[in-house]
Amino acid sequence: MHPEFPMHLWDRLIQQSVITLYLLRTCRRNPSISAHAALEGNFNYDTTPLAPPGCKTIIYEPPAQRRTLAPHGVEGWYIGPAVTHYRCYTAYIPKTRGERISDSVTFHPHLCGTPNVTPLERIVIAAKDLTSALTHPHHGLPMLSSSNNEDTMAALN
C-alpha cells in the first residue's frame, strides 16, 4: 500500500481482500477449484480487473464533466473493482470525499517506477534487430540480391 493512503479508507478495501482470499483458497468439496469458483463461478479478470489496493490513481474526467481548460483527470485512491460494471474501477476522490466508478484510470504505484530505455539501449536494440533481419531474412519480404549477400555478411562480421 502507498504510505500516504488514508487510514479512514482501509475498510473500503475489504471487498477486494475477500475476492483475493477466495481466489487463493481451495474449495473444501473440490480441492481442484478455488473457493470463489465454487461460490460464485469462475472469476473473469477481463470483466473485473484487479489492481494493487491503496494505489494512487488519476481518474479521467470526460469533457462533459469538466471545464474547458481544466485538467483531464483528478487524483484519487484505488479502493477496489466495480463488480457490477464492465472493466471499471472504484476510486476514492479526496477532493470530493466520495467514490467514483471509472473505466479510464491510470495507476501510479510507489514501489516500482516506470521503466525507461536509455538512448544507448535503443541503439543496441535497433542494431540487434537489424542484424537479425539481415542474417535471417523473411522469405516473403524483398531483400538484397544474392550477389550482395557475401558483402553484407562481411560487413556484419
pLDDT tens digits, one per residue of 35-92: 999 999 999 999 999 999 999 999 998 888 888 888 889 999 999 999 999 999 999 9
User: What was the pLDDT predicted at 69?
Assistant: 86
Q: Taking a C-beta distance cutoff of 8 angstroms, is the pair 27, 33 a contact?
A: yes
pLDDT tens digits, one per residue of 106-124: 998 888 776 788 899 999 9
Q: Under 8 Å CB-to-CB from 79, ≥6 apart: which residues?
A: 9, 12, 13, 16, 53, 54, 90, 91, 92, 99
Q: Given pLDDT bands bounded at 50, 70 and 90, which one contains residue 29?
A: very high
User: What was the pLDDT predicted at 4?
Assistant: 92
In percent, how much of the chain has pLDDT > 70?
Answer: 86
Edge-first strand listing for the sheet containing 105-108: 98-102, 89-93, 73-81, 56-60, 105-108
Place of cell 488514508: 6
User: What was the pLDDT predicted at 62?
Assistant: 87
Asked whether the predicted pLDDT for residue 5 surpasses 70, the reply is yes
C-alpha to C-alpha distance for 71 and 55, rounded to whole angstroms? 20
Asked whether the predicted pLDDT for residue 145 surpasses 60, the reply is no
If you average pLDDT over every residue of the chain, what do you get?
87
